[in-house]
């Protein structure tokens, strides 16, 4: 049976004290909304509908950057979760199969949990996601009779006996599209908040003779983000899980608490990651690489046996082949380094291709930007780029060619050739001694005047 995904993302999030919509605040380098979309995508939904409100244009842009087929509907008034889902009725008028309701500010519901909910749908008409709360606080309570969910009671409307229940509502619901909208049409706002609760459909479903149940997940999966403190807690929770998973997958983290992952970081087994390394989005590290301390990687691919850092920066488009060495204070951007190439210190390589076995000397810069356009530098295989070489792109250095130390290269260097571009050195006898004597005399006069 197909599933259609609805993600509620209309709230402003006033407790965030931000001009940005709450669901666009990031955890592990991705907006909260994207985490929810990733979770829902595990069910391969036929359609994904985002309910936007505050900052709808920004929310739409972020959603479609992740899934260009995502549909956006507007909730112009914040009248509760039931009203938010009802806003999708026209968009899903011809939808078949089920609808799953997720929340854009709840980033950690796992694909395994959603799969459990879908399995339960084979037996029950309506499936709710619940959790045992360490502190039930103001969560809605799930009133169960064996495996049957009788109703959901919001805290504000609960009796003392109902408030004693610790099995709580996450808000995530799965049922057929037909039942969802039939039941929502009957929901009223006759409650303490004057809102249309999505949770009211459970009682209505039971009254109509439909079956309902609740699937339990770990409380950590249902963590919602409503404040900066919640956002920090969510980041901490994500990083703890990511570090644990990396260690279990065969990655060595010499100081795990100092390594930070993005939502999509992939690191292969037998890779060593030293302290204080930060992975931004879109980083892939193959087996057996070595990422040394204080390095920052984003949008990069590092192949088997490569060594990065310490204090290296890989920016988007950095492609390191096997056994490449990128050392301290080296920055790589939109550049490919072929097998065995080395840039060991104090170098910028941008918009370039470096051939296999080539050595890039300290202080080398590919001068790729003219103020308007970016230009490409090509360096062939087994070349030697002398220290402090400036490569004025577009320019090409051939295989087994060389540039002299301090060269400024603005013309192509043929294969096997050596480029020398320096101002001729001239030595002036005794000039340094005369200059020092003059400066010391001036300093002595200034000190005497200050006395």
Could you list the active site residues?
345
- Whether the CB-CB separation of 322 and 304 falls below 8 Å is answered with yes
Q: How long is the chain? A: 451
DSSP state of 389: -
CA distances from 191 to 10, 153, 188, 240 (A): 21, 11, 8, 40
Report DSSP state, residue 99. E
Asked if residue 417 lies in contact with residue 390, where contact means CB atoms within 8 angstroms, the answer is no
**Helix, strand, coil percent values for the chain (each to nearest 5):** 25, 30, 45
User: What does the DSSP assignment read for 151-213?
Assistant: EEE-GGG--HHHHT--EEEEEEEEEEHHHHHHHHTT----STT----TTHHHHHHHHTT--EE
Rounded Cα distance, 77 and 103, in Å: 17
CB neighbour burial string for 267-279, b if at least 16 within 10 angstroms, e if fewer: bbeebebbebbbb
Angle between helix axes 32-41 and 111-120 (nearest 10 degrees) is 50
Q: Which of these, 98, 114, 99, 92, lies nearest to 40 by C-alpha position?
A: 114
Question: What are the backbone angles phi and psi of residue 197, rounded to the nearest 5°?
Answer: -85, 130
Q: Show the tokens assigned to 14.
A: 């006033």
């Amino acid at each position: 049976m197909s599933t259609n995904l609805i993600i509620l993302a209309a709230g402003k999030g006033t407790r965030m004290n931000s001009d940005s919509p709450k669901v666009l605040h990031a955890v592990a380098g991705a907006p909260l909304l994207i985490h929810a979309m990733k979770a829902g995508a595990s069910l391969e939904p036929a359609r994904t509908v985002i309910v936007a409100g505050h900052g709808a244009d920004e929310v739409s842009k972020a959603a479609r950057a992740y899934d260009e087929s995502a549909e956006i509907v507007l909730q112009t008034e914040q009248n509760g979760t039931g009203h938010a889902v009802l806003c999708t009725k026209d968009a899903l008028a011809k939808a078949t199969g089920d609808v799953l309701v997720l929340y854009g500010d709840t980033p950690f519901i796992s694909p395994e949990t959603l799969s459990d909910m879908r399995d339960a749908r084979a037996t029950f008409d309506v499936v709710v996601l619940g959790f045992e709360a360490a502190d039930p606080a103001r969560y809605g309570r799930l009133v169960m009779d064996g495996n049957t969910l009788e109703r959901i009671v919001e805290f504000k409307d609960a009796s003392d006996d109902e408030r004693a229940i610790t099995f709580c509502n996450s808000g995530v619901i799965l049922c057929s599209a037909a039942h969802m909208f039939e039941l929502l049409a009957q929901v009223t706002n006759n409650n303490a908040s004057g809102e249309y609760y999505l949770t009211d459909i459970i009682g209505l479903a039971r009254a109509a003779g439909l079956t309902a149940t609740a699937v339990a997940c770990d409380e950590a999966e249902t963590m919602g983000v409503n404040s900066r403190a919640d956002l920090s807690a969510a980041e901490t929770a994500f990083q703890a899980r990511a570090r644990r998973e990396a260690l279990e997958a065969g990655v060595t983290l010499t100081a795990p608490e100092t390594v930070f992952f993005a939502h999509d970081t992939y690191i292969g087994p037998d890779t060593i990651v030293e302290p204080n390394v930060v992975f931004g989005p879109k980083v892939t590290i193959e087996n057996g690489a070595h990422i040394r301390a204080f390095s920052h990687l984003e949008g990069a691919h590092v192949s088997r046996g490569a060594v990065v850092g310490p204090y290296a920066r890989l920016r988007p488009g950095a492609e390191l082949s096997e056994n490449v060495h990128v050392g301290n204070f080296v920055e790589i951007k939109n550049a490919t380094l072929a097998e065995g190439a080395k840039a060991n210190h104090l170098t910028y390589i941008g918009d370039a291709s470096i051939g296999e076995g080539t050595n890039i000397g300290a202080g080398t810069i590919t001068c790729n930007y003219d103020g308007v356009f970016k230009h490409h530098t090509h360096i062939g295989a087994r070349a030697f780029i002398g220290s402090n070489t400036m490569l004025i792109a577009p320019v090409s250095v051939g295989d087994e060619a060389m540039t002299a130390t301090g060269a400024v290269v603005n013309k192509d260097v043929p294969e096997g050739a050596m480029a020398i571009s320096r101002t001729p050195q001239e030595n002036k006898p005794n000039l340094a001694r005369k200059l020092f004597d003059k400066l010391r005399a001036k300093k002595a006069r200034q000190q005497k005047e200050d006395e």
